[in-house]
Amino acid sequence: MQKVLRLVQKKEVDAVVVYKPDRIFRSTTDALETTKMFEREGVSFHSIEETLDTRSVMGRFFFTLTAALAEMERKLIPKETRNDGSAIMKAFKSVQRDKFEN
């Protein structure tokens, strides 16, 4: 992403195309600040997976909402993984105990 940002600042690109926005931005703030920078530099932002027009009020709202949901999901995944992993380990220990007790 840093290379893309340098190209934008050097005005070497006219557009940035991504598969899904949540794949390149780490936070809602990052997504909003970066797309505003694209706008200031005259660079359009496009997503293959989602139709976004961050130049309109509704497009900006939808983009902000999806960025916030993606950030929340990214933060929940490690917690869910830890919880699932601990449940699996408890079940495994229970099976091991039963195996040796019988």
Angle at which helix 2-9 crosses helix 28-40, to 10 degrees, equals 20
Over residues 35-55, the pLDDT tens digits come to: 899 989 999 888 888 787 777
CA torsion 32-36-42-43 (nearest 10°) is -20
Whole-model pTM above 0.85? no
Length of the chain in terms of residues written: 102
pLDDT beyond 80 at 72? yes
From the centroid of its chain, how far is CA 34? 13
Helix-, strand-, coil-residue percentages of the chain, each rounded to 5: 70, 10, 25
DSSP letter for 23, please: G
Domains of the chain by start residue, with CATH: 2-73 (3.40.50.1390)
Q: How confident is the model at residue 47, as a pLDDT?
A: 84
